[in-house]
Amino acid sequence: MNKSSMNIKGTLKCEITIPSNDFKKVTIEGLNNRHTHFDGDNVTISGERSNSFVNIGLENALDRLFGLGGAVVSHIGVTNDATAVTATTTKLDPTDDDSVTLLTAQSLARVDRVVTGEATFTHVNANFAYKKIGFLTTSTDAGTGLIDVIGGGGTTPYNQAFNIDLTGATTWSATLGIEVEFKAS
């Protein structure tokens, strides 16, 4: 008997802009396909990173698929928390809600089997090192809406180092988007 399966792939897409004179003052670890572009007064760093859905996110996707309820992705969040992530993780930061910044996900649009949502974090709204980034269906890190996570250094598939620390720069912006793709496999 042939099996049919579906694969959900998530990818962080980011574009960071900082002043050129602050380039050596920032730390960025765990981005693949990283590109750096110097343009006079500014440096733009772009890259991507695969992510993984947590159990709540997978269950939410099934609920939505079969009309059993579920919530829509509405926010992207960042935290400086480095607590290990596992499939059963329910919060970006399990110990301190004050270290999480959530912004409304913009540009949620589907092209074929891919949907992307993004938000722009800055030195004004989230001035700390990012150890985890995630999609949520809630406007708070309440433990009920975490869909997927980038970072965290847990067990496979969450076990790769991740750190975006722009706090050494005077000003900066980081547009962080998560691209979710459904594929037949």
- Whether residue 6 has pLDDT greater than 80: no
- Whether residue 2 has pLDDT greater than 70: no
- Whether residue 150 has pLDDT greater than 70: yes
Taking all residues of the chain, what is their mean pLDDT, rounded to a whole number? 90
- Whether residue 86 has pLDDT greater than 90: no
Mean pLDDT for 45-64 is 90
Contact indicator for 102, 136 with CB cutoff of 8 Å: yes
- Residue for token pair 């698929």: 65
Residue 1 pLDDT class (50, 70, 90 cuts):
low
pTM: 0.90
Mean pLDDT for 86-91 is 90
User: CA 144, 145, 147, 153 torsion: positive or negative?
Assistant: negative
- Whether residue 160 has pLDDT greater than 80: no
Q: Read out DSSP for 6-44?
A: EEEEEEEEEEEEEEGGGGGG-EEES-EEEEEEEETTEEE
Contact indicator for 83, 91 with CB cutoff of 8 Å: no
Residue 75 pLDDT class (50, 70, 90 cuts):
very high
